[in-house]
Amino acid sequence: MKKYIVVIILNLITMEGNAQNNGEVFMTTDEAVGNITFTPNGNLVYSHHPFFQPKNRVMIYDKKAKTHKPFPNKSWNTPRKTNDHYLSNVLGIRNDKNGVVWMIDMGMRNEITPKIVGWNMKSNSLERIYYLPKTAIVTTSQPNDMVVDTKHGVFIIADEGIGNGGDGSKAAFIIVDMKSGKTRRILEGTRTTLPDSKKPTIINGKTLSVGGAPLLVGNDGITADVNFEWLYYGPLNGVHIYRVKIENLLNENLSETDLDSSIETYSEKPNNGGMSIDKEGNLYLTALETESVVVVGAKDRKVSTVLKNKNLKWPDGVSYNDVDGYMYVSAAQVHLGAVFNDGKSKATRPFYVFRFKPLVEGVPFR
């Protein structure tokens, strides 16, 4: 009898481990999902990946009704010439502790100034728009992801440097002051924001290329620890995660040389898109080439796999939902798009959003 009980327990442990490793399908959609975040009641807000030129830029999924609707409404997803109170080209989205969902509108699809749009979920109204002027944006800018740092009162944006045919050589950070709206562009084309030319993205033996040249993406995944002390980041194409004290990043009295010297090489990593963190400092990275999410352990800084699924094709955004305690990750299928496949898209429906339990409680608003 005891032996029988032990066998049952071992089987349950094995089943639980396999379920954890494969993740759980939370939802599917007919269009590619880019980045993801959450409302105060735990509903999922997601960007349709701009690579596929979606009609609706941002959506919300009501988990109870199981419905998808344009976010914050249809009007904000409808370009017009009379004003710029609409979303043109969105990938990066984050929430904050005040119930505001922030979206980076990269522009590019329409002749408008790139901006950050905040929508207050408590009042269901526009919170504020922060414009990204030409002093912060260059021709090849692609402001991809951000940290909403409510402690220091800033947005910290990762600019990949691949907009309008860019090669990642001008990847940088953009800092936006929440109070004044002041912007700064820093660390452009430096050792920690540049892509590594020796690390092109290779999926199923095929190098991701445009016009015969490997696509190299600069400063991309970005997150901050629970106390907003450290910023963790790295280029999509690169072998290292870096970290810098946020107070140094924001110190305008530091020269770029001094700031650069304060940046630590934190750990190794695969080519990755999104990045998130838990309360013990374990980092979660979407590993593009292996249909997986990996974790960099806070104690040993070693890379290990926490989720792997054949349908997790081009894992992109990863974010923690503090309402249900799950980490969520999207599968965007970017490498199957027409640009990378002789003008014919190989992406297939449905597009997935998975969820899994992190090692410990995650950090919301990252």
Distance CA(103)–CA(116), nearest Å, equals 6
Asked if residue 82 is part of any domain, the answer here is yes
Q: For residue 38, what is the domain's CATH number?
A: 2.120.10.30
Residue 12 forms part of a structural domain: no
User: Cα separation of 279 and 164, whole Å?
Assistant: 37
Task: Name the band, by pLDDT with cuts 50, 70 and 90, for residue 21.
Answer: confident
Residues 268-313 pLDDT 10s:
999 999 999 999 999 999 999 999 999 999 999 999 999 999 999 9
Is 29 domain-assigned? yes
Residue at 42 is within a domain: yes
Q: What is the C-alpha separation between 170 and 363, in angstroms, rounded? A: 30
* Residue 364 included in any domain: no
- pTM of the full structure: 0.94
- Number of domains within the chain: 1
In degrees and rounded to multiples of 5, residue 354 shows phi and psi of -100, 165
Q: What is the residue-averaged pLDDT of the chain?
A: 94
pLDDT of residue 37: 98
pLDDT at 6 exceeding the cut of 50: no
Position 13 confidence tier, pLDDT thresholds 50, 70, 90:
very low
Residue 14 forms part of a structural domain = no
Q: What is the mean pLDDT of residues 46-54?
A: 97
- Domain-embedded: residue 365: no
Maximum alpha-carbon separation in the chain = 76
For 241-275, how does the pLDDT look when each residue is reduced to its tens digit (9 = 90+)? 999 999 999 999 999 999 999 999 999 999 999 99
Does residue 361 lie within any of the structural domains? no
pLDDT tens per residue, range 327-359: 999 999 999 999 999 999 999 999 999 999 999
Per-residue pLDDT tens digits for 73-104 = 999 999 999 999 999 999 999 999 999 999 99
Digit-coded pLDDT (tens) for 161-209: 999 999 999 999 999 999 999 999 999 999 999 999 999 999 999 999 9
- Count how many Cα atoms sit within 13 Å of the Cα of residue 148 in the half-sphere of its side chain: 22
Q: In which domain, by residue range, is 236 found? A: 24-356
CA distance 167 to 213: 10
Rounded alpha-carbon distances, angstroms, from residue 220 to 85, 91, 162, 207: 26, 12, 11, 19
Q: 315, exposed or middle or buried, with CB in 10 Å at 0-12, 13-18, 19+? A: buried
pLDDT of 98 = 97
